[in-house]
Amino acid sequence: MNEVILDCLGEACPVPLVKAQNKIAEMNIGDILIVQIDHSCAMKNLPEWARKDGHNVEVEEVDDGEWEVIIEKLK
Amino acid sequence: MAEQSSLASRRSSSSASRRKPKKNQIPIGVALVIIIVAIGIYLGTKSGQLALYWTLGISFGVILQKGRFCFTASMRDPYLTGGTSLTRAVLIAFAIATIGFAAIKYGYQSMGLPMPGMSYVAPVSLGTVFGAFIFGIGMVIAGGCASGTLMRVGEGFHMQILSLLFFIIGSLWGAHDFGWWKLNVISKGKEVFLPDVFGWAGALFVQLTIIVLLYIAAEKYEEKRKAQ
């Protein structure tokens, strides 16, 4: 099981979303992608897209205004 | 929830160890509320209208931030993620605003008073279409429309201070040349005020029908994208 950390700190949406979409496409099933974001808008559309795409998603607030979106690729 | 918590614990790189202890923001929040109320009371002694603008502006900002309401995302996410939840939220907001503004304007007209906000009934021309198009490109690149950029600068997102800077430069430039545009492009268009065309009930009906149709289209589109 691979774990990939994607640093999107300082990137405005939709950049984190597009990066995550590209990254997850090249990953294997069961891999975990951790996207680090500090843009509140990406906190909404990133989990929304990942859940809709059928992955396991969890959001952790690591600091004030800084989040890690943990996505487990399921398909 | 059990499945969710296992996801965080299964990850190999632990963020808990390098996590800084969060600062308690409640005292700052309380102080800020007191300052906001104090400024509001001070503005109220100068003019009631200023206090109203202050209150409405702050409320709008709080709703925008807490609701994660984003006009940019409402137009962009259908394409990017296939999600139309924000698109539909904007449509609902338009529907409520339609009813509210119709009620206010109709109320003034039926009392024989001049209708407020009629200066916003601007001529429609190809310039409207073109302007909307370049605004759309700009807001996707900048990561937010006007209100969204202001809200995120307030949140402390540094990159969008750059957006704000160019937003101000663009606004000033636009204001500087607005006279020319108005004379040569905008005034060539036709002013349309729907109640003049369809009557009050008709205008309300036409506008709400279009919004409902767009809402249904957004829902159908989301279902279609999900099925793919």
Q: What is the mean pLDDT of residues B22-34?
A: 87
By three-state DSSP, how is residue A5 classified? Answer: strand
Where along chain B do its domains lie?
23-67
In A1-75 the beta strands, taken as DSSP E runs, fall at 3-8, 32-37, 56-63, 66-72
Q: How confident is the model at residue B93 (pLDDT cuts 50, 70, 90)?
A: very high
Cβ distance of A65 and B155 shorter than 8 Å: yes
B154 closest CA partner among B43, B53, B54, B64:
B64
Residue with tokens 């060539």: B188
Phi, psi for B189 (deg, rounded to 5): -80, 180
Q: Closest to A56 (Cβ–Cβ): which among B7, B143, B159?
A: B7
Going by DSSP bridges, is the β-strand pair A56-63/B123-124 parallel, antiparallel, or unpaired? unpaired
What's this model's pTM, rounded to 2 decimal places? 0.77
Pick the CATH number of A3-72 from 3.30.420.40, 3.30.110.40, 3.40.605.10, 3.40.190.10: 3.30.110.40
Q: How confident is the model at residue B213 (pLDDT cuts 50, 70, 90)?
A: very high
Cβ distance of A32 and B10 shorter than 8 Å: yes
Q: Closest to B11 (Cβ–Cβ): which among A13, A52, A70?
A: A70
CA atoms within 13 A on the CB side of B89: 16
Tokens of A35: 């996207």
Where along chain A do its domains lie?
3-72
